[in-house]
């Protein structure tokens, strides 16, 4: 065969040898109107004879090539992210290629913003791809909207070979067929009105300009069987399908046709996708054979379920990668957790880096049953990775976040570093860091003084402790000690305890309540020194409930202790 220089082989309906020379395939077909064996079949005709055959197909490749093909119609769902992750791990663990293809044939809902967001989220997870719409590659274009001419060429090729025919049925006719099938309790399959039309009948409709779709001829008998890498043997009977549309009347290709042409022309060796695509395999297998394409191996991953075992959706809370990112989840935690939703290495270990996942991942260990998304476990896992971050990286992460929220005046400095050192063990998410900081700088003294929990402390001469504390503040002893940091604070507390003849809880609980406004919290000495420095430096931004240490001590002057005891009596009576 000769062709003009530069003519793309794909545009002519021919698969380049360099793309598919790597494949070996074994097909077994049984056609009433076919002849041949051992995978070598010859079409005699497409007359009104009964059509039936069965397929069992396997394609082997010397190079693993997998793809993740999102539709840019919304955010990247965690289910899609897990599918992308499994594809990535399979490719990397087998020395293959990971490809991103954008399936944007839904022109009304697809947006550039959504595409960019999906790619951004995949990059954030660390799932770097080898080919895609942003970096190109030898098998592009990588957007379906840019491949329409290719789909049209292959559709015409199928018409010429007799595998596809033009259907001139109107929407009204099709709806009527569905109603009749429903009344007769039959599946709503196309009746095949135009499947055996003569050339004269077709030309007559074409001359009138009647709109038409392209329909694929489906055998009336037989079955398709695949060996799914996750689910084992799966079989469909052709009688449940009916002739299906591959091109709409407006010239737009249908999903299953696009996917088959794309996967074949991009030399995809393994298709790893969600189980909701399992029924599509039957249509795609028929198209593969009709075009002479080898079948890839399939692996259908189970859905991610909500705690109530329904499909995880927006009504269950955050479901997109972008949402989890905004909530403060780390990419290391997301990748680790998503990998464990349906996969494990057979050991009790639950923590894996991306590199370790690549080393250990096998598709055979992916579970075929649904996995429940556990937010509590994801939070716990995120806390583990938060505490593994290098100190400087954690300070930058939290500091930038607090600055953006208006909590601190600068994203670095002692207020961020020392607060994190004090509070980090209780931080699993950024919102935990927010809550811990806001709790530290707040002073809910009056609200707590009237509670039953504080009653023993109030009755243990708390007013006298407050008076002595104010005296130490007024004469400058307290702040002079705090200028020396922890050492100065410890010396002062020891001296203060001797003066009041108090020690242990009898000393520390009243001091904690008077200075922090709370009975519980992180180390008191560290907290008081930090509050003193924060008030002095202006490192904490105004607002957000921050009460400086000197302001707290001045508020103590206005406490009416007699009134506090009466309030406690009222609360006890109400209880």
How far the first Cα of the chain sits from its last, in Å, is 95
DSSP characters over 490-518? HHHHHHHHHHHT--THHHHHHHHHHHHS-
Query: Residues near 377 by Cβ (< 8 Å), separated by ≥ 6?
Result: 337
Distance of CA 491 to the CA centre of its chain: 53
Residue 192, pLDDT score: 81
Helix (H, G, I), strand (E, B) or coil at 335: helix
pLDDT at residue 59, rounded to an integer: 47
- Exposed, middle or buried: residue 458 (CB in 10 Å: 0-12, 13-18, 19+)? buried
* Per-residue pLDDT, 1: 36
pLDDT reported for residue 193: 86
Q: Within 13 Å of residue 53, how many CA atoms lie on the same side as its CB?
A: 28
Q: Which of 314, 498, 503, 505 is catalytic?
A: 314
What does the DSSP 8-state code read for residue 350? -
Active site residue 314: yes
Handedness of CA 421, 426, 427, 428 (dihedral sign): positive
Bridge partner residues of 217 (DSSP): none
pLDDT in tens, 154-200: 999 999 999 999 999 988 888 887 888 778 777 777 878 899 899 99
Task: Return the SS3 of 370.
Answer: coil
Q: Residue 36 has what pLDDT?
A: 31
The pLDDT of residue 565: 63
* pTM to 2 decimal places: 0.82
d(CA 322, CA 320): 5
pLDDT digits (tens, 9 = 90+) for 382-397: 999 999 999 999 999 9
Q: Which residues of the chain have pLDDT under 50?
A: 1-54, 56-60
Distance CA 304, CA 301 (A): 9
d(CA 84, CA 92): 12
């Amino acid at each position: 065969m000769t062709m003009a220089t530069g003519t793309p082989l794909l545009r002519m309906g021919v698969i380049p040898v360099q793309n598919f020379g790597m494949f070996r395939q074994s097909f077994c077909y049984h056609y009433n109107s076919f002849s041949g064996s051992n995978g070598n079949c010859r079409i005699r005709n497409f007359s009104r004879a009964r059509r039936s055959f069965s397929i069992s197909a396997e394609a082997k490749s010397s190079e693993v090539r997998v793809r993740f093909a999102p539709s840019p119609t919304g955010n990247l769902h965690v289910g899609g992210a897990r599918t992308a992750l499994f594809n990535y791990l399979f490719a990397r663990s087998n020395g293959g290629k990971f490809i991103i293809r954008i399936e944007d044939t839904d022109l009304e809902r697809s947006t550039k913003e959504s595409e960019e967001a999906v790619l951004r989220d995949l990059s954030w997870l660390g799932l770097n791809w080898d080919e895609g719409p942003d970096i190109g590659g030898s098998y592009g274009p990588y957007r379906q909207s840019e491949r329409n001419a290719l789909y049209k060429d292959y559709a015409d090729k199928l018409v010429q070979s007799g595998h596809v025919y033009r259907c001139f049925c109107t929407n009204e006719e099709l709806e009527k067929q569905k109603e009749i099938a429903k009344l007769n309790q039959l599946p709503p399959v196309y009746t095949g009105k135009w499947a055996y039309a003569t050339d004269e009948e077709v030309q007559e409709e074409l001359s009138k300009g009647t709109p038409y779709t392209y329909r694929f001829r489906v055998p009336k008998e037989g079955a398709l069987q695949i060996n799914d890498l996750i689910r084992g043997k799966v079989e469909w009977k052709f009688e449940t399908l009916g002739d299906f549309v591959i091109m709409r009347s407006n010239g737009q290709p249908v999903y299953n046709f696009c996917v088959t042409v794309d996967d074949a022309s991009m030399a995809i060796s393994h298709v790893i996708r969600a189980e909701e695509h399992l029924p599509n395999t039957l249509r795609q297998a028929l198209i593969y054979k009709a075009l002479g394409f080898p079948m890839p191996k399939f692996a259908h991953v189970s859905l991610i379920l909500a705690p109530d075992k329904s499909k995880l959706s927006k009504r269950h809370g955050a479901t997109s990668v972008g949402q989890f990112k905004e909530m403060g989840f780390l990419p290391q935690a997301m990748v680790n957790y998503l990998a464990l939703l349906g996969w494990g290495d057979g050991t009790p270990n639950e923590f894996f880096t991306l590199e370790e996942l690549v080393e250990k991942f096998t598709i055979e260990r992916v579970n075929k049953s649904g996995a429940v998304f556990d937010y509590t476990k994801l939070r716990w896992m995120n806390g583990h990775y938060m505490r593994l971050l290098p100190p400087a990286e954690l300070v930058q992460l939290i500091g930038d976040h607090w600055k953006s929220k208006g909590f601190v005046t600068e994203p670095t400095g002692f207020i961020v570093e020392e607060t994190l050192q004090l509070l980090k063990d209780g931080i699993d998410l950024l919102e935990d860091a927010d809550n811990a900081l806001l709790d530290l700088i707040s002073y809910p003294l009056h609200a707590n003084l009237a509670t039953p929990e504080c009653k023993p402390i109030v009755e243990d001469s708390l007013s006298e402790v407050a008076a002595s504390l104010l005296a130490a503040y007024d004469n400058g002893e307290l702040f002079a000690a705090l200028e020396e940091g922890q050492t100065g604070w410890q010396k002062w507390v020891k001296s203060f305890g001797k003066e009041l003849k108090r020690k242990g809880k009898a000393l520390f609980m009243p001091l904690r309540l008077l200075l922090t406004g709370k009975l519980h919290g992180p180390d008191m000495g560290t907290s008081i020194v930090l509050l003193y420095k924060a008030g002095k430096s202006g490192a904490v931004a105004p607002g957000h409930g921050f009460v400086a240490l000197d302001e707290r001590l001045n508020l103590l002057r206005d406490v009416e202790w007699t009134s506090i005891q009466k309030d406690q009596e009222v609360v006890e009576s109400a209880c």
